[in-house]
Structures are given as structure tokens and as C-alpha cells.
A and B are shown apart, each in its own frame.
Chain A
């Protein structure tokens, strides 16, 4: 018994989340509807908090399960990110789920399952672990997208996301197969050893690299693999959009760091330029298209593509060493906080179906819901990258290694994009604060839990923007195992 506990204790957070997910399902199936809907969010958040707090205490660092899993600072960092995002996504949801008759237990459970998958990706030392984690993360997200069953757009979102996701997973697995064929092993370390000796001379390496780039690029929503994003984000129920715009993306970058940076690190000089190009195209396309959107939800979808570009820039800068890795981690953290918050701010408006508010529907929002508007403004300012917010610091940390790695042109593109983005983000603020509400606007609902969690995270956005040091230090330490 003891021995068994010892074996599984490194996976304590994952297990706790799994148990919580099961408990959510059982409780929902046993209790009457009203009592369940009160108990479920509490149960979910408590479970996640236990995993968050207990994780570092119980789960010692080291390599486990025959080398398939490694708990290191990197994994711990990402675990924390995913758990925080799941907590946030749970806390903003209850009122919306109630209102739209989305099955609550299924929402929480799928968020939890997806979280386990994401955490597994961060733990992986092996392509197989990685793939299991990836699928465990994405399949629940397909379900999340289609959770508003009676809404046509939600169905469309789920189906599109599923079909294309499956397609990209196939590409990815195919790439993994090539890697296995090359090195005879699925361990990152073995793959790194093999590609270090063969280099890019082998056509098989090129194909494998291309397939992996495309597969992971899809998950991170990089251009030209991004097209599912706006459709899926727009159609999914808004709390689900909030979650799926951040957690899978964070996980995709965890995967990119594990597979490309540590597994195919010896080829970094070759893929770095491609990633720099991808980054430039991704951020530019995301921003330019976001500029012409009039629906905030779709606009935020494109903006999330642009942010993928910023993170990819940091990935491309791996030549600069640990600061580049730290920049990725820091940005992912910052992005998760502010983007989830921005989507969640749309939950104040009681709008037909799943589409978010149009700009006109946000006219005078500040008057109608001052706290929500303030939080929204903070998130948007942070997404723009204006101090003193975490978004500014995050961009700053990205630019540094990008310059160090010699991609001066990319830094220029990045700065240009940041200016461009200011327009469409701040346009929302202008609509909220400076326009008179006119005509029939959607009614405003202000659930207390939503306001509370948004206030909390908006405060975090500002505080971490002023005092980013300890978080950055942690990100730097967490990048250590990947980029010494």
C-alpha cells in the first residue's frame, strides 16, 4: 500500500484533479438539480486548490514511471498555470451556465479533464506521454465547444474544431512516427542525440520537423494553421471560449518547448528562422484581421492569434538561452490571466446565443456595469501592452531575447504590431466609456462571483505589472530544465 502511494505521489495534482472530476460527475448524478448547481463550482474549486497547494508539497521532483514522466521546475510552473486557469474558468462560469441551460457538471468535469491533459503535457519526457496528454486535453475541449447543444453555432464550432483538430493530431502523430523511425526511441533525450548527429542532412528529419511544426502550430493557432480559431471561439459558449483560448494554447507552448526546444534543440539554428517567420506572419495577420472585426468575441479570437505570434517570437529566440524560455513562460502566464479575463468580461451581457457583444452593444458599458468595464479596460490595456500591466512586462521580456538572438527585424515587427493592436483594443475602451448607450441594448447581468474573480485577476494583472520580479525569477528557473 505504502509502496503504491509512493509510486503515484509524484502525480498528486493530476490525481486530485481526476478524483475531483469524477466526484463532480457523481455528485451531479446524485443530487437534485438546484442543490447540485450550488455545490459543483465549490467542489471543483476546492479540488483544484488542493491540487495547487498540495502539489508542491507532495509531488517531489524527479523522473518516474519508467522515465515517461518527469516532475521538474518546468512542470511545476505549468501545473500552476493550468490549475489557476481552471479555477478562473470555473469561477466565472456558474451564472452563465445557469442562464443558458448548459449542463454545469459536464462543463466543470470537461474543464477538469482537459486540465489533467494539459498538466500531463508539461510532465512529459516522451512522445507517447505527450500525445496522450495532448489528446486528453483537446478532446474535452471539443466537447466544451459544443456544450450549448441547442445553439447552431456551438455545434458548428465543435464540429469544425473536432475535424481540424483530429486532422492536425494525425499530422502530429505522423511526425512523431518519423521521429521514432529516425531514432528508434520516443524519448526526447534519445531523439536529441540522434538529430544532433544526423543534422538536417536527412530528408526524414526535414519531414518530421515540418510535420511537428505544423501539428503543434495548429494547437497554438499559428498562421497558417489558425483558421479554426475564430469560428471555434465565436461559436463556443463564452466561458468555454475563455478557457479554450488560454489553456490549450499554454499547453501547446509547453509541448513546443518540450519537443522542439529540448527534443530537437540541436536543430534550433534551423527551425529558429522558420519560427521567426511564423511569428511575424502570425502576429501581423492576427492584428490586421482583428482590426476589422466588429464583434468583440471574434476580435479577441484574432487577437489571441496575434499573441501566439508574440510567444512564437520568444520561441524563435531560443538562441538567447534561458531568458527566451523564461519569456515564453512569462508570456503564457500573462496571456492566460488577461485573455481569460477579457473573454469573461463578455459574460456580463446577456446576449442571445453564443456570439459575444458587438462594439455598439458595449456603448456606455462603463455606466451600466462600472466594475466589469474597469476590469475589461484593465485586461485590454494589458493586452495592448501598456504599463503598468503584466502585458507590458511580458512583451518587454520577449523583445529582450529576440534582440539578443539577432532577430532585430522581428523585434521591429513586434513593436509595430503592438502599436497596431492598440487601436482595436482601445476602441473597445472608447466604446465602453465614451459612447452613450442608444437603442435596445442587451441586458446586463452582474453575478457576484464573476465580479469577484474578475476584480481579483485584474488586480493581479496590475500588481504583477508593477512587481513582476519574483514571477520572472520563477519563470527563469522553470526554463532551466529546457534551456540551460
Chain B
């Protein structure tokens, strides 16, 4: 069997372990926890909001834009972490590169801001 096929076995094992652990956790809490349901306890979150209307209701597209911007920053952070870890090895070149990267994102943010994508109407 070639090496790269072997690596799928690891993935499979990892997947199995993940499913197993989650299942075990849920089962244990179900078995060990005492159950005294009251009205408050049955709400979605004890401190949360009651849902109003259906989940299929229409949302303003603004949420979509926010979500996009959020994802952009999320990804940005994913890139920043390894860079920060290797800051010394990468040296000034790394600084320049990450600065360019951030500059591109800033351009996007600036555009979003000027097009009033950040303000709520």
C-alpha cells in the first residue's frame, strides 16, 4: 500500500476517535446528571432570548456582509498566528510581507467602511 493511502487510515482513526469522544461525553452527562425539569430550565438558554417567529424568517442581507467581513478577519488571524510564532526567524522580510498582507485587508475594510457596509442603515 503506498504511503499516501496509509495516511488516510490515520484520518479515519482520528475521525473515529472524535466521534467516539463526543458520543461518550453526551452519554455520560445523560447518565450522571440529575433531572429536575422546570419551566425556566427548558428554555433555550437560561439567560437567553425566547425565539420570535420561525427560523425560516428572512434576514436583512446586511448580516451576510457582516459575516463576510468577519470571515476575512478570522482568516487574517489564522495567518497572523504562525507569523507571530516565527517572528524572529522571518526577520524584517516577514514584517514587510505581513504588512503588505494587512494593507490589502485594510483596503478591503476601508472600502467596506466607505460604502457604509459597517453601519446599520
Contact = CB atoms under 8 A, between A and B. Distances in A.
Touch test A–B (CB under 8 Å): yes
B96 A25 contact: no
B87 interface: no
Interface residues of B, number: 14
B107 A184 contact: no
A3 B4 CA distance: 36
Contacts of A25: 107-108, 111
A22 B96 contact: no
A184 B4 contact: yes
B69 to A, nearest CB: 15
B104 A22 contact: yes
B93 A4 contact: yes
Contacts of A26: 107, 110-111
A3 B93 contact: yes
Contacts of A184: 2, 4
Interface in B81-101: 92-93, 96-97
* Interface residues of B, dominant DSSP: helix
A57 interface: no
Contacts of A4: 93, 96-97
B30 interface: no
A29 interface: yes
Contacts of B93: 1, 3-4
A446 B114 CA distance: 33
Nearest to A1: B96
B115 interface: yes
Nearest to A29: B114
Given A1-B96, A3-B93, A30-B114, A22 B4 contact: no
Interface residues of A, number: 10
7 contacts: A1-B92, A3-B93, A4-B96, A22-B107, A25-B107, A25-B108, A25-B111
A25 B105 CA distance: 12
A25 B106 CA distance: 12
Nearest to A180: B4
Contacts of A3: 93
Given A29-B114, A29-B115, A30-B114, 19 more contacts: A1-B92, A1-B93, A1-B96, A3-B93, A4-B93, A4-B96, A4-B97, A22-B104, A22-B107, A25-B107, A25-B108, A25-B111, A26-B107, A26-B111, A28-B111, A29-B110, A29-B111, A29-B113, A184-B2
B67 to A, nearest CB: 17
A253 B1 CA distance: 37
Contacts of A29: 110-111, 113-115
Interface string B1-19: 0101000000000000000
The 10 closest A-B pairs by CB, nearest first: A29-B114, A25-B111, A22-B107, A29-B111, A4-B93, A26-B107, A29-B110, A4-B96, A26-B110, A25-B107
A158 to B, nearest CB: 15
Nearest to A4: B93
Interface string A315-333: 0000000000000000000
A412 to B, nearest CB: 48
Interface in B26-85: none
A28 B113 CA distance: 12
A26 B107 CA distance: 7
Contacts of B2: 184
Contacts of B111: 25-26, 28-29
A3 B90 CA distance: 13
A187 to B, nearest CB: 16
Interface in A178-208: 184
Contacts of B92: 1
Nearest to B103: A22
A30 B110 CA distance: 9
A373 B116 CA distance: 43
Nearest to A7: B93
B107 to A, nearest CB: 5
A1 B96 CA distance: 8
